[in-house]
Amino acid sequence: MPEGRPIARRDLLRHGVMSATALVAAPALLTGLAPRPARASIETPDLGQPPWYRFAIGDIEATVVSDGLMNIGAAADHFPQADPDALQGVLADAFLPHEPTLLEQNVLVLNTGDRLVLIDTGTGWAPPGPGDAPDAWTALGFDPGDTHGRLMGNLRAAGFDPAAFTDILITHPHPDHCFGLTDADGAPNFPNAAVHLSQADFGFWTSEEVVAIGGFVGVIAQGAQRNLLPLRDRIAFVEDGQEVLPGITAMATPGHTVGHTSFIITSGDATCFVISDAAHHAAVSFRHPDWEFSFDTDPEAGAQTRRRVLDMLATDRMRVVGYHFPFPGIGHVSRKGDAFRYVPEPMRHGQG
């Protein structure tokens, strides 16, 4: 310490800590043995994150409930128009690997006070697949080790009784969105709920002609038949611009499926857009919205819809919930050059 310099309290603390540390460590150093950290003996649950997140949309209590993760493999397999270097650059900028591509499944619950609404139902159980495939998920090319199908248990853990739901809005009848309507025995998982979806999607995905196509499309159609046809008497069709329920308006966003529907939720001055599968990937779909996506029924229309929707969200600065975005999938859209960027909203624990 320089001569004449006053000794500050922080110097005493620093030198005192160093001296005490040296004294404690000396015996171990003299014997050639460094002290080993104690190993925790407690067992922790096999859960990486809470399976639900509650927030507010105006006066509406909203909860994102996870159905789990889906592994769709290599990113290049799902963006066939992508330049490999450009795709790798987008993923690297987002600190994401090229493989595996993991998509969340964020199911939204809305408690309006009068109604309890579920938007999509997750993957549910895995029906038999064609040929030697043990289930539809393997037939569809998904990793059988995926953690999907957790919605029912997570709903109960979040405090929701499936019998209390009054309405289910189906954005489109793909496996990860509507196969949770029924259980393994074919009984409705939500026995008192009306089901709302577009007539175009219902007609397409439950038709025998689409089942006869076989392969990937046929498996989806078989599952849609199994989940939708037994509930036909409680299905109401929605149209573009229709207020389906108070404060919830349908918006046609075709391309991913023929009748793909998004929803705008309004309460007071607050709005929130349920984008569903108009955009899948929180990095790639925003940076290159014109890149077609492999699961789209009409990829060109899907790309056009995606750019239109992202432009609207950026212009209106509207909050968005993404079904496949990193949990809980709530955020905003900003412009980045001639494309866009997804900006996650900070989680406000207990603050709405």
Per-residue pLDDT tens over the stretch 205-258: 999 999 999 888 998 999 999 999 999 999 999 999 999 999 999 999 999 999
Provide the residue ranges of all domains of the chain, joining segments of one domain with +: 1-38, 52-344
Return d(Cα 106, Cα 125) in angstroms, integer. 17
CB 331 within 8 Å of CB 342: yes
Quickly state the pLDDT bin for 149 (edges 50, 70, 90): confident
pTM: 0.85
Per-residue pLDDT tens over the stretch 292-302: 999 999 999 99
Mean pLDDT of 96-114: 96
Per-residue pLDDT tens over the stretch 44-101: 655 556 699 999 999 999 999 999 988 888 999 999 999 999 999 999 999 999 999 9
Of the candidates 168, 172, 171, which has an alpha carbon nearest to the alpha carbon of residue 181? 168
Amino acid at 194: A
Of the candidates 110, 224, 125, which has an alpha carbon nearest to the alpha carbon of residue 169? 110
φ, ψ of residue 122 to 5 degrees: the values are 75, -170
Per-residue pLDDT tens over the stretch 327-344: 999 999 999 999 999 999
Residue 34 predicted with pLDDT over 80: no
Looking at domain 52-344, what is its CATH homologous superfamily?
Ribonuclease Z/Hydroxyacylglutathione hydrolase-like (3.60.15.10)
